[in-house]
Amino acid sequence: MEIDNEEVNHTRVLLENSDGFDGGSDWRYEMRRECQEIIPNLVLGPYQCSKDTAFLTSAGITHIVVIRGEAEAVFVRPRYPDQFSYLVLDVRDSEEQNLIRIYPEAREYISNALQNGGKVLIVCNGGISRGPAITIMYVMEAAQVSFEDATNYVQNKRYCISPNLGFQCQLKEFEAIYRASLAIANQPTLTRDSKRRLEDDDSIEADIDARPSRNQRV
């Protein structure tokens, strides 16, 4: 799925018009238990929000990304598969966990939902590390902005985020990966063989699809 320039421009405008990092001034501790809308129709929060059918219905949620480790599968799971569409991602909150290989599946799911008028909720157990990391990756790529800008923007919406150090390193790496992918995709004169050689040289093919779809706090 090719990136949608209109969606890129729209997401960029949202970031450029944001007030910067000021979430701490109005943030209350109990808000970490709530969800926050990051960009239109993309919501981030803790798993407990996905158990509240009244909230899900009133917020217009149609799709839910559940991020959990194997040990959490008993209690972090799709609760209402007859009412909502789910994507379950097996992700440990570990510095050794590879997010870059998992992200394309999340990106495709989120993009398809948004393109079809859906509203996506991304949750992990506490809404602190794993969910925010995937959200930052999506904002980074959708708006074609830097790791720092995407992280500051997401944290301005949900002050309590804190991806683990391993995730932060991967988010920085992902900026270079998606920018290289865009550079390759935007060179129409390259032959398929030429593109393949560039991808192999940069090890892009092993980490993420060459064609992106659209739409830390340390």
Active site residue 124: yes
Predicted local confidence at residue 209, as pLDDT: 44
The domains of the chain, with CATH numbers, are 5-16+27-186 (3.90.190.10)
What is the predicted pLDDT for the residue at 13? 55
Count of residues making up the chain: 218
Cα dihedral sign for 63, 69, 72, 74? Answer: positive
Give yes or no for a contact between 62 and 84, defined as CB atoms under 8 angstroms apart. yes
The CA distances from residue 129 to 9, 71, 91, 145, 206, in Å, are: 27, 16, 11, 20, 24
Catalytic residue among 49, 124, 160, 169: 124
Instruction: Return the bridge partners of 85, or none.
Output: 63
Per-residue pLDDT of the chain (218 residues; tens, 9 = 90+): 344 555 555 555 555 554 444 445 578 888 899 999 999 999 999 999 999 999 999 999 999 999 999 999 999 999 999 999 999 999 999 999 999 999 999 999 999 999 999 999 999 999 999 999 999 999 999 999 999 999 999 999 999 999 999 999 999 999 999 999 888 888 765 555 655 655 565 543 444 344 445 444 43
Query: Are the beta carbons of 11 and 143 closer than 8 angstroms?
Result: yes
Q: Is the pTM of this model over 0.75?
A: yes
